[in-house]
Amino acid sequence: MKRIAKPAGAYNIVVEEVETPAIAPTEILIRAECSLISRGSEIWRRYVREEAIDHRSMGYSLVGRVAEVGAEVEEFKTGDLVAALAPHAEYVAVEVGASQHKPAAVRLPAGLSPEAGTFWPLGTSSVLWMWETEAGPDDVMVIQGQGLVGSGCMQAAKAQGAGRVIGIDALPLRCELARELGIDEVIDASAGDPVAQVLELTDGRGADIVVEAVGGRAGAQAFAEAQDMLKRGGLLQVLGLYENEPLPLYSEKIMGKRLIGSYLDASRRPEGSARTLELLATNQIQFAKMITHRFPYTEAAAAFDLLYNRLGETMAVLLVWDN
């Protein structure tokens, strides 16, 4: 079978031939149809690194058909269309009986496309993150960044009943998509001071909740701005990663405000997973509209290069395995 690997050397993505894995009694074997590349962890923690990366860390979300079922597995059968926490590979063995992450695989609802199903892990995290904010109909929420994480959180917040959701991004593609997906307001950060615009939209009060979902090179600036656009008593939730520099936390700005990291209550993951599948099946979260590029797995190197070098042209990038 084929799988994606990252040997020693930065930006080094290859397709390698390996044996199809044998499964344990509590595992299922999945034949892949498509898999989603993470622009966060797979780029900044894998692709740009000089050292070789364990193949199990290359990829996190895959959809395919169950090809084989372990002797002790009862909840899946051969032929089921499933989404799984799994790397980019033609076949993957997934532990479903004693997995550290529950659930590690789910059967997709009837009518849900394999492509949309690849967003099940991200959707579950988005739902759980928004539950942590406890956003309700009286709240104004600002989400900095409308990439995959920010857009997922925006849609989950709207489905949760957040009163008003304002998105911020500097890339036209993301701003336009946010409008298409139903955000209440979009601020183009390239056209002016986003703090001033948030204060104007909230009549000087600031936001009840600010979700920092920028990360990367712009993450430190976004974190600083978040503290200025948050009202007293408000909540700042930090989801961004990979800034490669300390985040500027100012005591005089954060005083009287609440700050949390990307905490998830793992005990609620099964509940969040079920809610995500419901939202996907009813189009309350429209992740499929976020797909901008599809590559056959044989062109994985080009897919990673696109994500790294041409950010303004991309949202979600899929590898296609089903021939």
- The residues facing 6 across adjacent strands are 53
pLDDT, averaged across the chain: 95
Which CATH number fits the domain 2-119+290-320, given the four candidates 3.40.449.10, 3.40.50.620, 3.30.43.10, 3.90.180.10? 3.90.180.10
Q: What is the pLDDT of residue 323?
A: 61
In order along its 323 residues, the chain shows pLDDT tens digits of: 999 999 999 999 999 999 999 999 999 999 999 999 998 889 988 999 999 999 999 999 999 999 999 999 999 999 999 999 999 999 999 999 888 888 999 999 999 999 999 999 999 999 999 999 999 999 999 999 999 999 999 999 999 999 999 999 999 999 999 999 999 999 999 999 999 999 999 999 999 999 999 988 888 999 999 999 999 999 999 999 887 889 999 999 999 999 999 888 989 999 999 999 999 999 999 998 999 999 999 999 999 999 999 988 999 999 999 76
Backbone angles phi, psi at 127, to 5 degrees: -60, -45
Q: What is the pLDDT of residue 47?
A: 94
122-266 shares the fold of 2-119+290-320: no
Q: What is the pLDDT of residue 90?
A: 98
- The residues facing 259 across adjacent strands are 236
Cβ neighbours of residue 274 under 8 Å, at least 6 residues apart? none
- For 59, the token pair is 């990829």
Q: Which amino acid does the sequence have at 106?
A: V
pTM over the 0.75 mark? yes
The domains of the chain are located at 2-119+290-320, 122-266
Q: What is the pLDDT of residue 280?
A: 96
Q: What is the pLDDT of residue 82?
A: 98
CA distance 258 to 252: 13
Of 205, 224, 242, 268, give the one whose Cα is nearest residue 47: 242
Does a cis peptide bond (omega within 30 degrees of 0) precede residue 270? no
List pLDDT tens digits, range 41-65.
899 889 999 999 999 999 999 999 9
Q: What is the pLDDT of residue 311?
A: 84
CA distance 297 to 167: 33
CA distance 109 to 256: 44
Backbone angles phi, psi at 30, to 5 degrees: -115, 130
Here the contacts of 299-303 (C-beta below 8 Å, separation 24 or greater) are 300/4, 300/13, 300/15, 300/88, 301/13, 301/14, 303/37
Q: What is the pLDDT of residue 15?
A: 98
Q: Are 6 and 303 in contact (CB under 8 A)?
A: no
CA distance 164 to 142: 8
- For 182, the token pair is 């139903």
- The residues facing 31 across adjacent strands are 65, 91
H/E element, 188: strand 185-188
CA distance 154 to 164: 10
In terms of CATH architecture, what is 122-266? 3-Layer(aba) Sandwich (3.40)
Helices (H) and strands (E) in the chain, counts: 10, 15
Outline where 181-283 has alpha helix (H).
Answer: 194-201, 219-229, 251-254, 269-281
